[in-house]
Amino acid sequence: MTTLTETPVAGNDDRRDNENNNVDQKLMIALDVDGTLVNHDGHMSPGVRESAQAVVAAGHEVMIATGRSLNATLPIIEKIGIERGYAVCCNGGVTLRLHPELDGGYEVIHKATFDPGPALRALRERLPSAKYALEDADGNFLSTERFQDPSFGVEAVGVDFHTMLEATAVRVVVFSTENTSEEFTEAIEHVGLAGVTYSVGWTAWLDIAAAGVTKASALENLRTRLGIEQHLTVAIGDGRNDIEMLSWAGRGVAMGQAPEEVIAAADEVTHSVLDDGAAHVLRSLL
């Protein structure tokens, strides 16, 4: 593994050579959002925004790959100027096609749903004080205990737990203010979540998707659809839900603040989100 510290500035001759060598090599670039493009306050620095816009303008297939839901992803897509292409939301549960002629500028081309009941029952027994939220097949959020989060993109509707058990889910979120992420992981391992895919966040935060569904699985479907060779794929991320994506990419780059297991899955490590690590990587692709 290499550590990316600073992107070298090529001279005119070097830059001209690079352009000639890569003119026919369109890259597929997958970008995580929280902790990668934006900091944990949701702010995107001018350097990150400008470098992302430059890579889009260069004609590469740039796509957001995030755990956020659709409505929380669209502002990021707009901010970096992706008008045509694709995006992956809900940790691979929802895939969008983007085009300015579509209603709202996008259409959902794939949605992976699952029965959340078994996982919810098992987790509720082990984590009775946790907060639960669920995105249903229509993009609505149902939640217990007035659980709201910016990643939902819409205001969650409070329901009882039984109602959540009967819904069809695209994404389930579990959050606890009383546990550490390590305690959360231990609880999850104890109950054994079968038939779903899950990842634990920075805190006691759990994202659950359909079995086999990850950012990487959705991106691989898009790579095949676009006919882009595997070695021309790049991914940047910082969270445990990025591990599969970083392993999948021809060039997987972990953010500097990423946990050890995320860094282990990557080919490189860039600067932290506070030091515009994503911008350094994106500039290296120009």
**Which domain-ending residue is among 169, 189, 210?**
210
**Average pLDDT, rounded, for the chain:** 89
Q: What is the DSSP letter of 254?
A: E
**pLDDT band at 285, cuts 50/70/90?**
very high
**Which domain-ending residue is among 210, 229, 259?**
210
Residue appearing with tokens 């060039």 = 251
Please state, for a pLDDT cut of 90, what percent of the chain lies above it: 72
**pLDDT band at 225, cuts 50/70/90?**
very high
Range of the domain at 67: 27-112+214-283
Burial of 178 (0-12, 13-18, 19+ CB in 10 A): exposed
| pLDDT score of 56 | 96
Domain count for the chain: 2
Please give the average per-residue pLDDT across 49-61, as a whole number: 97
Would 200 be classed as within a structural domain? yes
Q: Is residue 258 left, alpha or beta, with left meaning phi > 0 and alpha meaning psi from -120 to 50?
A: beta
25 vs 166, more confident: 166
Per residue in 83-126, pLDDT (tens digit) is 999 999 999 999 999 999 999 999 999 999 999 999 999 999 88
Would 186 be classed as within a structural domain? yes
Please give the average per-residue pLDDT across 269-282, as a whole number: 98
| pLDDT score of 24 | 57
| pLDDT score of 4 | 47
CATH code, 40:
3.40.50.1000
Would 11 be classed as within a structural domain? no
* Three-point CA angle 214, 241, 121, nearest 5°: 80
**Which domain-ending residue is among 177, 210, 243?**
210
| Cβ–Cβ under 8 Å, residues 116 and 169 | yes
**pLDDT band at 15, cuts 50/70/90?**
very low
Token pair of 92, please? Answer: 């691979």
Would 191 be classed as within a structural domain? yes
| pLDDT score of 12 | 34
**pLDDT band at 11, cuts 50/70/90?**
very low
CATH code, 146:
3.30.1240.10
| pLDDT score of 81 | 95
Are residues 228 and 96 both part of a single domain? yes
Would 10 be classed as within a structural domain? no
| pLDDT score of 59 | 95
Burial of 220 (0-12, 13-18, 19+ CB in 10 A): middle
| Cβ–Cβ under 8 Å, residues 270 and 281 | yes
| pLDDT score of 181 | 77
Calpha distance 36→69 (Å, rounded): 16
Answering whether pTM is above 0.85, one says yes
**pLDDT band at 179, cuts 50/70/90?**
confident
Which residues, including other chains, have CB under 8 Å from residue 19's CB and lie 6 or more apart? none
